[in-house]
Structure 1
Amino acid sequence: MGRARKLLRSKALRLLAVLVVIVYLMNTSLLAPKPDGPPQLLAHRGLAQTFPMEGIGNDTCTAERIYPPEHPYLENTLASMEAAFEAGAGMVEFDVHWTKDDQFAVFHDWTLDCRTDLKGVTRDYTMAELKKADIGYGYTADEGRTYPFRGKGIGLMPTLTEVLDRFPDRYLLLHIKSNDPREGERLASILAELPAGRREKLTVYGGDQPVAELKKKLPSLRVMSKETLKGCLLSYLAVGWTGYMPEACRHTQLQLPEKLAPLLWGWPYQFLNRMERADTRVIVVGGDGSEFSSGFDTPEDLKRLPDGFTGWIWTNRIDRVAKAVLPDTP
């Protein structure tokens, strides 16, 4: 009986060893083809003023703590997006908020108080009223002694339609800041008027409810929310080691914190190849997911990426990073 148990245990160990080898070979990036070329760059908010990240929370007025300005652009404006694309961005991210007259204003904060000379939220105003706001009013780099953009931001808050019209062939990432399903429904009605080929270059992320409503109205649109991200990653962790791609991971977008990405089967190249075959875009963001809008903002930051990485990376300083990774950038 003891000999039989030893034999069974030996066979079980051999089978386990074989399984480990199979899992390793299926998921090692050593055997995966590495795509050529530089990383692809996503410019967060366009070319924007940046600020120290320490102590940032959802309610922090970041306009009151910017670094001394190195360029004249304000986030989420047509000019800042144009500058980002000219600097080398392959995609620009921007934020949308509903207005009193049922339009979408392009603006970052939940309230207008921090950056502008208005109070309240965009839903309190018509788009015509928001066009009169000075969106550079609240920016200061010296604790309020000077306001370098005050008076220079009047009329610069764009509508979603203006952005779509200005950049008809560009990749854009739209961020719904609320969790109101009506915003998803309204956004779907706007995007449904675009040609299908144009919608292919758009991705929408944000609250679970508006994103779910948007996906219901426009099933072919690429979207992401906490719910869709969780559904994909949990499914992939369960079965991804086999090479099978769960349905939740198909034709979507994953914004992966750099510190969590190595936990995924096949990271980086097997994973990226699988997601590409599934028509899913992977964007690597900085940190572990708990930091506020963390990205790869300096040439030194880029050293944290896997060698030869050519996927999408999130940056708050497209002007700096593009020069480090794109050979033809002036």
Structure 2
Amino acid sequence: MRGRKILGGVVVIAGAVYLLNASWLAAPAGNDSPRIIAHRGVHQTFSHAGVDAETCTASRIDPLTHDFMENTITSMRAAFAAGADVVELDVHLTPDKVFAVLHDWTLDCRTDGHGVTEQTPWPTLKTLDVGYGYTADGGKTFPLRGKGVGLMPRLDEVYAAFPDRSFLVNFKSRRTEEGEALAALINIDPKVRAATFGVYGGEEPTRAAEAAVTGLKGFDKSSLKACLVAYEAYGWTGFLPGACRNTLVALPIDIAPYVWGWPNRFMKRMRDAGSDVILVGPYGGDFTTGIDTPELAAKIPPGFDGYVWTNRIETMGPLLKVTDPVHRH
């Protein structure tokens, strides 16, 4: 008798958990296609195998199919033309208080300059060739050398070039000063505020910017972990952790099926909490892997109303921006 009661209790609890997290009980948003974040704009792709913080990715690019260089205004324009809703870019605050847009911590890999990017004055950065270090054949040829002279933009130049577009700003450092400086830029110009989709990267500048700009969303590794770990612990109850509210949630596509209520119930919970979900590529320890193949795109749920992160906007944009999701799958 006692065993039956225990079994009955387990069945009741299991049923309650199921109903609380049944995706089919929450309607999808019904979007025709997802919104897209183009990582670094249209850029030269490379193998991620064995990549770490010290890897010079410009020295291991795939064979060229175009001449665009990451983080340049021309690459951003091409990304928006290919269907990007948001372009991700990387910033460094220089000694003369300019936000230079470049991915690398140092100049030696990608450019003809030397030294730490954030320690180099803007007049020097502006003269560099951002296509100098690209090679797809181990240094035998450098097909973009000479084509990137003067193409490193300032962040304010990017905003001016695309007044009606959106950007996700990546802080490459952990300097609180960077977040405060970006917040000052955002707070004095409503157009810049409207164009700033969010911030992420270094914990200190990300949180400083969020604190100083009302409604600005962002994430760093610690905040993302706090959200997802707590959600897996008790999100099944329908109660959303504070770390998941009014934020950006980067969710690897291979982990997504295992979060409570995926996809519809999970997305509704995040939407109701004022948070945006960004589907990124398979988990690899960072946020840079993207939805870069038709096979991965096929795993995006129909009606998904979040954002999709891609490194190949030039090919994935036309694929994802279809009006009939059946054709995507």
TM-score (norm 2): 0.92
* 1:223 alignment counterpart: 218
- Pick which of 188-197 and 246-255 moved more: 188-197
Give the distance between the partners of 1:312 and 1:237, measured in 2 at CA.
21
C-alpha deviation, 1:218, in angstroms: 2.1
How far the C-alpha of 1:196 sits from its partner, in A, is 8.0
Q: Find out whether 1:303 has 2:298 as its counterpart.
A: yes
Separation in 1, partners of 2:53, 2:299: 26
CA shift at 1:243, angstroms?
Answer: 1.8
Q: Could you tell me whether the CA contact under 8 Å between 2:163 and 2:195 is conserved in 1?
A: no
Q: 1:200 to 1:227 in 2, by over 3 A?
A: farther
Between the aligned partners of 1:174 and 1:79, the Cα distance in structure 2 is: 17
1:325 deviation in Å? 2.2
State the 1:123 CA deviation.
Answer: 2.5
1:196 to 1:227, Cα distance in 2 relative to 1, 3 A = farther
Moved more, 303-312 or 132-141: 303-312
Residue equivalent to 2:13: 19
TM-superposed CA distance for 1:139, in Å, is 0.6
Partner of 1:118 in structure 2? 113
- Alignment partner of 1:204 is 2:199: yes
What number of residue pairs does the alignment pair up? 322
1:213 aligns to 2:208 (yes or no): yes
Compute the displacement of 1:178 (Å): 0.9
Alpha-carbon shift at residue 241 of structure 1 (Å): 1.3
Percent of residue pairs identical: 48
Indicate which of 256, 273, 276 corresponds to 1:281.
Answer: 276
- 1:28 pairs with 2:38: no
Partner of 2:327: none
Cα distance, 1:66 vs structure 2: 1.1
Deviation of 1:316 after TM superposition, in Å, equals 0.6
Q: CA deviation at 1:201?
A: 4.5
**Superposition deviation, residue 88 in structure 1:** 0.4
Structure 2 gap ranges (5+): 324-329
Please report the RMSD computed on the Cα atoms of aligned residues, expressed in angstroms.
2.0
Q: Is the CA contact 1:180–1:209 (under 8 Å) kept in the aligned structure 2?
A: yes
Query: What residue in structure 1 maps to residue 289 of structure 2?
Result: 294
> Partners of 1:203 and 1:325 in 2: how far apart?
22
Q: In structure 2, which of residues 241, 246, 249 is the aligned counterpart of residue 254 of structure 1?
A: 249
Q: 2: CA distance between counterparts of 1:98 and 1:182?
A: 8
User: Which position in structure 2 is the counterpart of 1:188?
Assistant: 183
1:170 and 2:165 equivalent?
Answer: yes
User: Which residue in 2 is equivalent to 1:130?
Assistant: 125
CA contact (8 A) 2:159 2:192 kept: no
Matched position secondary structure for 1:22: helix
In the TM superposition, what is the alpha-carbon distance from 1:305 to its structure 2 partner?
Answer: 3.1
**5+ unaligned residues in a row in structure 1: which ranges?**
1-5
One-letter amino acid matched to 2:12: V
Aligned 8 A contact 2:165 2:195 in 1: no
User: Is the 1:53–1:292 Cα contact (8 Å) retained in structure 2?
Assistant: no
Q: Does 1:268 align with 2:268?
A: no
Shift of 1:24: 0.5
Q: 1:10 to 1:197 in 2, by over 3 A?
A: farther
Deviates more, 1:39-48 or 1:182-191: 182-191
Report deviation, 1:291.
6.1
Q: How far is 1:312 from its partner?
A: 1.5
Matched to 2:15, the amino acid is V
Match of 1:254, SS state, is strand
Partner of 2:72: 77
Q: Which amino acid aligns with 1:220?
A: G
TM-score by length of 1: 0.91
Change (3 A) 1:108 1:197: closer
Which whole-Å CA distance do the structure 1 matches of 2:322 and 2:215 have between them? 35
Q: 130-139 or 201-210: which moved more? A: 201-210
User: What is the aligned partner in structure 2 of residue 3 from structure 1?
Assistant: none
